[in-house]
Chains A and B, each alone.
Chain A
């Protein structure tokens, strides 16, 4: 997860993540560089600290950050779309049940 010294505008916490976190305010339409070969075009404006989809995330599948599931998509989320409480539900009960 170590980032390079190059100035990035968004950060992926683990390689298996399907969301990216903005580390500055980003306007809709911006083409954000994720890595040398990966780019995502933003469909929504993304504020500092907020997340957008790195890939298409189908309804009912997990949102993955830090290499771990953090929630479940409540609608089909397209790449570059804002990922937050309007399209994600918490999975805290599921995670705790699986821990036993």
Chain B
């Protein structure tokens, strides 16, 4: 097994596994301009529906996500595109020291949509020139930060894909790296089991607190998390209770102690296994938060098959359900179905997944990267 990876060292001491120019919209209003600049220059577009008319924790979260997207180790340089009147100022974001080339434009001050696209293309091309040709350098496995997520969960995910990810999670932690578990609503039914694995009493209390926050948020509306979870799709595929779904989901986190809990999109600074409270976030909101937390790569198990990647980094799609593997071949990166079919042990599957992870970290494109299937979205915070 390899003991190092190849990546791009950043000034803040992190290591990137991709070297993208990102064109980042501050607000929905600048989305078209940002996407057009990215499309014409080969940069990745980071666009979303937030950035204005927001309050409290949700407003602060949007700004944190965008700041951490610019600072992300996989982003070599960034162009921030604003309209000019929104809450999240392009100038403020760009002027925060990120240790990498960052430029900004406002559409209004630049003279409208067409001019902003033209100016933005020039800036993005110049940024691309600044960072192109950089060679990958050797880095220890302890520099790896690996996020874990599941989507369209089914029983096979709980039996094969998630335990295989758990084997990789333990391997990463034992190699000195960092693993992030999140999806707060899905942790809900396993909060007690997770609290018992906390490294400190404070962390145990935080695990219960973040899941309580979700329930309290719904209770204020006279609703309950349980009304929507497990989903009809989960139930159809054999998941009976929220507790069962949660216990299957947390197998992604392996068996090591939980070092701490961070806020949504907060940079994880310690080693070992961490929980990120992804609050009310679903699907892409969670991927976005976890990658903004500093993960260079994500392991994403999917029962039914989910094709979405992220502009911030490679998302490795893992499925174990034979029908899903057959139907979604062009969108999945790893087939865990041999475990279900009885032709491979979990340990063998986990070892194969470690190799797959290292290949992707070292530059092998994922299916979503080949297809350019990227999604970025910023969630709402329960407060």
What is the interface of chain A, defined by CB distance below 8 A to chain B? 1-8, 11, 13, 21-23, 47-51, 63, 65-66, 68-71, 83-85, 88-92, 95-96, 98-100
Contact = CB atoms under 8 A, between A and B. Distances in A.
B248 interface: yes
Contacts of B247: 65-66, 68, 70
A50 to B, nearest CB: 4
Interface in B332-347: 339-347
Contact of B343 (A5, A13, A50, A92): A5
Contacts of B243: 68-71, 90-92, 95
Interface of B: 154-156, 158-159, 163, 188-189, 191-193, 195-196, 208, 211, 226, 235, 237-244, 247-248, 251, 321, 339-347
A69 B208 CA distance: 18
Given A8-B342, A92-B226, 11 more contacts: A1-B163, A3-B345, A6-B342, A49-B237, A65-B247, A66-B247, A69-B243, A70-B247, A85-B235, A92-B189, A95-B192
Q: Specify the main secondary structure of chain B where it touches its partner.
A: helix
The 8 closest A-B pairs by CB, nearest first: A99-B192, A49-B155, A49-B238, A7-B342, A50-B238, A70-B244, A90-B241, A71-B241
A23 B83 CA distance: 53
A68 B339 CA distance: 22
A66 B341 CA distance: 20
A7 B345 CA distance: 11
A11 B192 contact: no
A69 B240 CA distance: 12
B195 A99 contact: yes
A47 B154 CA distance: 12
Which residue among B226, B247, B347 has the maximum number of chain A CB atoms within 10 Å of its CB? B247
Contacts of B321: 48-49
A90 B155 contact: no
Contact of B240 (A47, A70, A96): A70
A65 to B, nearest CB: 6
A91 B159 CA distance: 21
A48 B251 CA distance: 20
Q: Which of B193, B248, B342 has the most CB of A within 10 A?
A: B342
Contacts of A2: 345-347
